Structure 1
Amino acid sequence: MIVRNEEQNLAQCLQSVKGVVDEMVVLDTGSTDRTTEIAKEWGAQVYYFDWCDDFAVARNFALKYVTGEWILVLDADERLVSSIVPQIKQAITQEDCLVINLVRQEIGASQSPYSLISRLFRNHPKIQFNRPYHALIDDSVNQLLKQEGRWKIGSLADVAILHEGYQADAIARRNKQQIAKQAMQSYLAEQPSDPYVASKLGALYVDMGEIAKGLQLLTKGLKQLNLYSKYEEAEADDSLFYELHYHLGIAHRKKQNLAEAKHYYEIAIKANILPQLKLGAYNNLGNLLKDTGHLLEAKAAYEMTLQIDPNFVQGYYNLGMTLRAMGDYAEAIAAYQKAIQLDPNYAEAYQNLGVALLSAGKVLSGLEALKTAVALHQKSDPTEAERLRQTLQQMGFNL
């Protein structure tokens, strides 16, 4: 792993692999806090690197110190899921396996809660990272597969890594968006035909409000991917195919191009990738359908998210919103309650549960849910708490 000023996260990360891995190699890129001391306390070998605004260069530098046969790459704001360890140990016994792709759960992500990442691979001298941000081994692996045909790529379907870095406060605290934007813009200037960077940077533009610029770059990236597949006589990267269509759906939705957004979400859903990686597209498609009055279709989309992941909190909440709009208060209440069971601090779920209970004539239970919603909003959004409180007072309820 490469780190910098990670004293808040590092111990939890290293604890998750302690006793699982044979060695821990930590490359520090300029910490001014207790990061290196914590790494040493957990038994890690600590090395140092002068940061050069390029994650790939740093990761490749760290690889030089690895002695094991297999390499697991983690960031400090990630941790290994203990239940996946037996599967990992079994997977790496396959003599012809070069890379094991792992599912990462994005804790607090507002869009896709899962991603598939190539973070477990053989310690092969030709495997190297490239791209200064979102550094990947994929290009070197593809070259190796062409040169040495005996290798294959594997994957594990269960969640292997938990990632905290997409929580809003973490992104703001580390200025992640600006750092990513600067690094990817520089790389794109050197590699203007790279569809992967076009996808990542285009999505970032959209997320930062530069929607027209993001839409243009995502469209360009999709054309580049299609051209690569045509002229290289190769199959398109399935995950990149999904991401480009998915983020084009988001961009068009923000521009209120609803037909185009629906079109891109539906194509994304057809991508040949693990079902849990499609949750964002199914959920966003459901939102679009719900907001345009296609409630039965929206209900089906949300039910699909829950079929894929029975613990998808947002799916239960959105299903509750749809059922309430359909007048099915009993089922809506059950959906909200399931969301709250999975996330007891879900203020909006309590708020809409209260409304559904009042609509169903269950006044006391409804007021109790609304009271809890006000208390939860007060902690995270006092303005919303006051707005809800005043609305209820206007309705004759004093909480």
Structure 2
Amino acid sequence: MTESSPKLSLCMIVKDEEQSLAACLDTVKDIVDEMVILDTGSSDKTPDIAQEYGAKLHHFQWCNDFAAARNEALKYVTGDWVLVLDADERLHPSAKNFIRVAMVEENLLVLNLVRKEVGASQSPYSLTSRLFRNHPKIQFSRPYHALVDDSVVQLLEKEPQWRIRTLPNVAIVHFGYSPHSIAAKDKHERAKAAMESYIAEHPEDAYVCSKLGALYLDEGKKDEAIKLLQKGLKDPNSDPLVTYELNYHLGNAYTRKNKTNQAIVHYQAALSQNVLEALKLGAYNNLGSLLFAAGENTMAQRCFAATVKADPTFAPGYYNLGMVFRAESNFKEAIPAYEKAIKLKPDYAQAYQNLGVAWLKCGKMNLGLEYLGKAVALLETQNLLEAQRLRQELKEMGFDPPQYRVEAVLESPISKPQEEAANG
């Protein structure tokens, strides 16, 4: 940055992040002018790593309140703008130029950033208010999933000249939702304790109803989740994104209770909200799955097509499209859909399996068996029981697919027949 450019400060809170902190800092070291890192009680080399990167290191006694810790870190920031990251996040390289341009925009207060949730079992994208002007009135609130949004709303009421924008492309990549990461840091229990404490004092808060309701659903507490999520929908001050999430989680809850009609209603309500299409991906995909199971193939196809339009890298969307096309005996379109899913996710065992079946249906026996053999090889590393079931099923049908090593499967290109597959 030039001397006249606004100064950007990285602001982080950390604890025992020696495995991930350096990778995070590597993604921002060429764009930030200072790094402010608040350690909340590390017992590993996290503080040493922070200092190796030239960070201004401070310490804070943990009090089970993320907002309090983040506000303490803000006290040490000297830049004109603040970028907030966690150690398990990375700044996407393509976002840097957009950030530089945004910081010189007159009256821009907050730039919302799209975050890709690597390993998330449901929605792979979220929206975060992580880049904002260093304004004395901007503070974090809520003990978990700490946000500046509440203070920004209050500030806009008094200073309406400020604007908020959203960067539509992925700016942050988050690795914290992998099962290993969550289990290793006991994030689930810490989140629940913090949110239950908050909601005891703010029982009608739609945002916390959404987050805690989703957490209860993860625990299998379907009825408790539904009660909390329904309560959140009664909040008249809920913004479209929170309303989307409340309906989306209710759709998931009713799906798990096998109440398909209620689930469909809430997925449709979620999709009606005015939020980025990428954020709706989970609702489109889950609604499509319900419609497909009900035999509503045309409507299911529209939902799955919406997922890959919103995110052309969404492998499950192409796989699901392949399933719909296959159900219609439309192998001409099913086969390239499966191939696209495999190209995006080379270890996609189910896509290999269904691609193999599709080629068998088209009379391409050798090609079909090739893909089924590759499916078995992948399943042996992912789901051994399913691999054994598939192998036994093929044996009973009189098929003996070739055997592959997983490494060979991942390295091999998509095989093609001598002539195009025919419809039907």
Q: TM-score, normalised by structure 2?
A: 0.89
Question: In the TM superposition, what are the counterparts of 1:179-194 in structure 2 within 5 Å?
Answer: 179-194=190-205
- Match of 1:17, SS? coil
Structure-1 separation of matches of 2:116 and 2:136: 29
Shift of 1:394: 2.0
Shift of 1:277: 0.9
Give, as a single letter, the amino acid of the residue that structure 1 aligns with 2:262.
E
Partner of 2:181: 170
Partner of 2:296: 294
Question: In 2 relative to 1, CA 31–383 (structure 1 residues): closer, same or farther, beyond 3 Å?
Answer: farther
Partner of 2:371: 369
Residue-pair matches, total: 390
**Residue of 255, 258, 263 corresponding to 2:257:** 255
Shift of 1:330: 2.4
Shift of 1:10: 1.1
Which runs of 5 or more structure 2 residues have no equivalent in the other structure? 1-11, 402-424
Partner of 2:159: 148
Partner of 1:335: 337
The percent of aligned pairs where both chains have the same amino acid is: 57
Partner of 2:230: 219
**Residue of 1, 4, 16 corresponding to 1:5:** 16
Structure-1 separation of matches of 2:37 and 2:228: 35
Structure-1 separation of matches of 2:50 and 2:390: 46
Show CA shifts across 1:346-389 (max 9, x none): 12211221222222222211221122222222222222222222
Give, as a single letter, the amino acid of the residue that structure 2 aligns with 1:331.
E
Question: In the TM superposition, what are the counterparts of 1:174-323 in structure 2 within 5 Å?
Answer: 174-223=185-234, 225-226=235-236, 228=237, 236-323=238-325
Greater share of residues in helix: 1
**Cα RMSD after superposing both structures:** 1.3
- Match of 1:24, SS? strand
Show CA shifts across 1:149-181 (max 9, x none): 211111111110011111222222222222211
Structure-2 separation of matches of 1:17 and 1:138: 23
**Residue of 317, 324, 327 corresponding to 1:325:** 327
Structure-2 separation of matches of 1:190 and 1:264: 27
Structure-1 separation of matches of 2:43 and 2:284: 43
Give, as a single letter, the amino acid of the residue that structure 2 aligns with 1:264.
H
Give, as a single letter, the amino acid of the residue that structure 2 aligns with 1:277.
L
1:84 aligns with 2:86: no
Structure-1 separation of matches of 2:21 and 2:157: 37
**Residue of 376, 379, 382 corresponding to 1:380:** 382
Show CA shifts across 1:59-109 (max 9, x none): 111111111000000011110011111111111111211111011111121
1:345 aligns with 2:347: yes
Structure-2 separation of matches of 1:114 and 1:198: 20
- Match of 1:71, SS? strand
Runs of 4+ in 1 over 4 A off after TM superposition: none
Structure-1 separation of matches of 2:178 and 2:15: 18
Q: Do 2:369 and 2:400's aligned partners in 1 also have CA atoms closer than 8 Å?
A: no
- Match of 2:27, SS? helix
Range with bigger deviation, 307-316 or 31-40: 31-40
